[in-house]
Structure 1
Amino acid sequence: MLREILIGVDLGTSSIKVVAFDRAGRALASAARPCALSQPRPNWSEQDPSAWWRAATQAMKAVSRRIDPRRVAGISFSGQMHGSVFLDARGEVIRPCLLWNDGRTAPQCEEIIRTVGREPLLRVLRNLPLTSFTLPKLLWLKQNEKANYRRLRTLLLPKDYLRYRLTGRAAMDESDAAGTVMKVIGERRWAGEILAQLGLDAAVLPPLIGSAEIAGELTPAAARATGLAAGTPVIAGGGDQPVGAVGVGVFVEGQAMVSLGTSGVVLAPTRAVHLGGEHGLASFDHAVAGSRYLMGCVISAAGSLQWFGDALCQAEAAEAKKARRNLFDLLLERAAQTPAGAEDLWFLPYLMGERTPHPDPNARGVFFGLSTRHQKAHLTRALIEGVNFALRDSLELMRARGLAINDIRVTGGGARNPFWLQNLADILGQPVRPVENPEGGAMGAALLAGVGAGLYKDFNEAARRAIRVGDRVRPRRRDVRDYEQRYQRYRRLYPALKDLFVQYS
């Protein structure tokens, strides 16, 4: 029997999605389930890994009913990065997972830099610790939940936990491991010397494997839970950002991916290993073997729009529901009718702190310049412009490192909105291209499965067969000039407010 179906599992912050693709990248079946988020204290963000497993098995079973499971060549993963899944000796979850957007570990980040030193951290890890990353979460557990730390035997990242439940084998792929700031970038080894200086036990870290390597096979118990066939190859997968980049065909220097999801990301592949650490810019291993990337992250991108809609747009939500329209399409349609610059209204998208270019867990969201002239559409436009300005911050840092980026591909929910795309092109001052396949993360995971299972010779063949990129959205010359001036003014807001963020935190 010809085995040519590929399954991509995309574990995000708000949901988990499972998609079955054919070799040409056409979606055959898909299913999604929500993932609940817990914020037990200010600046904390957690999820229950057992809930991920329940959601994943439900979604896989729904997909398996619409395909022939015997024809599946492989399964792989895209997963939210940096989260800490703590397992005991029996493989049971010890406590809820601390997520990528959890900001409680600022004291641990400072302690790591103070204990190890900036220069050794940059020399070995190529990055400095941020509250998003996994190393400070491990140190937090040791310092604040001593009994749980004594029980700890294995530390996994979110999608690794799902793979562990499917195969019974604990492992971590190199692309996701890079985001822990416990792995040596460009090498397949943990930085045991760094952990030893912090009094942490490297034995809790699992074996490292490549993103396109086979990590195991579906166990009979997992087959019963998912409806898929026992023995199906399970390929390692990777972090959501590098796997998303694979899913849009971004793995060569000169390209960049902009992801307009809950968080906003600018990711640019590089041949060389660059230093990260400055201004929250990360330098990690790509999911494509031998490649690296620089990455900047805006913690609240589409998440800012989600907050705005939930908190302030009940009337519009009712109107959209009555008209059977998407609320955010309605909001952005009205925002597009307001002038560029939203009549001198500014938005800082720091609703949960920020990472790039201001690694500051105390930063907070701000509408600046409100007047009686401003209506809700102005606020919506200012919000989109503020997110796009923040994304440009990351692109400018990469340009300063000497990267010449000439192919920007856009993915995520925001990529489907013409106004957001055009405004992004205007603010970046470069053409952007949406990726027509909306399943970026799941698509990337499926391509990893295809390369790992031998269905594609390499990633170039996978991209040619499966990825479809839309037409260029070109920047409008007049708006580029206007936004260049506005961007310089935007950049002055955070320095002016930085001390106040600390005082009022």
Structure 2
Amino acid sequence: MSPTTTVLGIDVGTSGLKAVLLDAAGGTVDEASASYPLRTPRPGWTEQDPEDWWTATREALGTLWARGHAAGQIAAVGLTGQMHSLVLLDEAGAVLAPAILWSDQRTAAECQTITERVGAAELLARTANIALPGFTAPKLLWVERNWPDAYRRARRLLLPKDFIRFRLADVVATDVSDASGTLLFDVRQRRWSDEVVRALEIEPGLLPPALEGNARTGSISPAAATQTGLIAGTPVVAGGGDNAAAAVGVDAVDPGVLTVSIGTSGVLFAPLDRFPQQHHVDGRLHVFCHALPDRWHLMAVTLSAGGSLRWLRDLLQPLLPISGDAAYTWLLERAAEAPPGCEGLVFLPYLSGERTPHVDPLARGVFFGLHLGHRLEHLVRSVLEGVAFSLRQGLELMQGVGADTDVARGAGGGLQSPIWRQIMADVLDVSVQTTTASTGAARGAAVLGGLGVGLYASPDVGIRWSEQPVQQPQAEPRAALDAAYRIYTGLYPRLAGSFAESV
């Protein structure tokens, strides 16, 4: 292979870091990963040590070098990672406190403070989102109140991938897609919101420059080259937040090509070629900048998607004839035996509260409509359908905003199941396309790296989508699924008060 014909993508995930090499045609050359711990010092708190991310970066790269890959062939490095998580550095670039992660729930009071200081309508107008504990700004206010010494000494606010950029290139920068998740960013104008920053009395100098995801942001420093084995001077490209980068990796950039993922949570992602009309920006959907210029995206989130199936597996495990991951296959085979609509059984997947369309941390899971004729297969299928119904509510909001919804490209463990893919296609009434090629945020970061240095002319590289399998919606189950969906959508309004009272 000739020099500088690969690109490297690095994904700072929640459970571990992944490094992916793509060739000049966008095909996967190899990938390596390294894990690190998640700390929960109190219920509802989740933290990590950013230094663990840096250690994992060196470990993953070391694995690639040990397999014979040459750092001298790498044309660029692209970065991605978990969104929202807060990293604070002092004047010397040292980490001041544990990184408070996207999943942390300690900041309810700070969310209320932000809404009061900025104003609910003004916050939506400026940032296109409402204050939620997952975002970065509430975490920063929490640090100010509870770790005042760290706040006083802070000189740089970074997101996880940008901490790795700082270590690789000695450059402070982020990209517009990741910045969109801070609640400090004007998503329409693609710049930091002076109005929100001023209202929250945040020092503007804390915030890094925000660039488009294919922009160059420096190069590998001599010190980083010594520590990682990368070649000094290799360009480092801005990259994107994990969902935006993953979308770039499957060429979900232009309107019409959605992405749907079923991991612990479920995410539906719809690209836009313009910012939505303001009256559609009501907080029920996330509205963020995409990682490429002149593109935005809508995002709907089901907090417990694959997590709901995992809960059911764990609950039933003592009674099942098989254990571990194989139990998923066994349960999904049972689900295929139940009819669409589950003969009136409906599941609300609110085991961890809900995000879209109901921003309600107090919502709880429900099986509704149980009768003596229901069996195990009905329960399993109703969980699969309930997750799909939740995402359909997000899809309908997206369509109301004007998003095109021609095909959904799938990722995540849940969509490896043919039965769940078909349920998703039938419920959403959208074709679901999957691929055997390696996908994910790290791939998208590598594609952004290739775009940034001109190795790729477009994000449509490495996967021949015209040759990938597509699961089409079926007409036959539509009536039964629509009837179950009508029941599903009527349950939350009737139960919301009871959810609140049960806490």
The corresponding residue for 2:106 is 104
Q: Which residue of 2 aligns with 1:60?
A: 61
Q: Of residues 286, 292, 295 in structure 1, which corresponds to 2:290? A: 286
The separation in 2 between residues aligned to 1:409 and 1:347, in whole angstroms, is 25
For residue 208 of structure 1, what is the amino acid of its counterpart?
A
Relative to structure 1, the CA distance from residue 139 to residue 419 in structure 2 (aligned partners, 3 Å threshold; closer, same or farther) is same
Moved more, 374-383 or 407-416: 374-383
Retained in 2: the 8 A contact 1:353–1:361? yes
My pick for the range that moved more, 6-15 or 362-371, is 362-371
Question: How far did residue 243 of structure 1 move?
Answer: 0.9
Structural mapping, 1:178-327, within 5 Å: 178-274=180-276, 275=278, 277-310=281-314, 312-313=316-317, 316=320, 319-320=322-323, 326-327=326-327
Q: What count of residue pairs does the alignment treat as equivalent?
A: 498
The structural deviation recorded for 1:312 is 4.1
CA contact (8 A) 2:86 2:157 kept: yes
| 1:414-441 Cα shifts (integer Å, max 9, x gaps) | 2222111101011112222113323222
TM-score of the aligned structures, taking structure 1 as reference length? 0.92
Q: Please say if 1:463 is aligned against 2:460.
A: yes
Partners of 1:46 and 1:371 in 2: CA distance: 43
SS in 2 for 1:95: coil
- CA 1:148–1:186: 2 relative to 1, 3 Å: same
Q: In 1, distance between residues paired with 2:315 and 2:16?
A: 21
- Cross-structure match for 1:448: 448
Which residue is equivalent to 2:171?
169
CA contact under 8 A between 1:131 and 1:361: conserved in structure 2?
Answer: no
Indicate the larger mover: 474-483 or 47-56.
47-56
CA 163–351 in structure 1, closer or farther in 2 if over 3 Å, else same: farther
Q: Within 5 A, what are the aligned runs for 1:112-127?
A: 112-127=114-129
The CA distance in 1 between the partners of 2:171 and 2:44, in whole Å, is 33
The alignment-based identity, stated in percent, is 42
Contact 2:26 2:461 in 1 (8 A): no
Q: How far apart in 1 are the matches of 2:251 and 2:46?
A: 31
More divergent stretch after superposition (444-453 vs 36-45): 36-45
Tell me the CA shift for residue 207 of structure 1. Answer: 1.4
Please list the CA deviations of residues 316-353 of structure 1 after superposition, one character each: whole Å capped at 9, or x if unmatched: 5x8356xxx74433332222222323443333222332
- Aligned pair in 2 of structure 1 residues 146, 174: CA closer, same or farther (>3 Å)? same
TM value normalised by structure 2 = 0.92
Q: Deviations over 1:163-207 (max 9, x none)?
A: 222222221111110111211124343112212212222221111
Q: Distance in 1 between matches of 2:372 and 2:151?
A: 54
Quote the residue 2:35 is aligned against. Answer: 34
Structure 1 pair 310–236 and aligned structure 2 pair: CA distance change class (3 A): farther
Change (3 A) 1:311 1:14: farther
CA–CA distance in 2 between the matches of 1:37 and 1:371? 41
Deviation at 1:311, TM superposition (A): 5.0
SS in 2 for 1:491: helix
Residues 334 and 54 from structure 1, CA distance in 2 versus in 1: closer, same or farther, beyond 3 angstroms?
Answer: farther
Query: Equivalences for 1:479-490 in 2 at 5 Å?
Result: 479-490=477-488
Residue 476 of structure 1 aligns to a residue whose secondary structure is coil
Pairwise CA distance, 1:252: 0.9
Distance 1:222 1:311 in 2: 47
* CA offset digits 1:91-113 (Å, max 9, x no partner): 22222222222233222222222
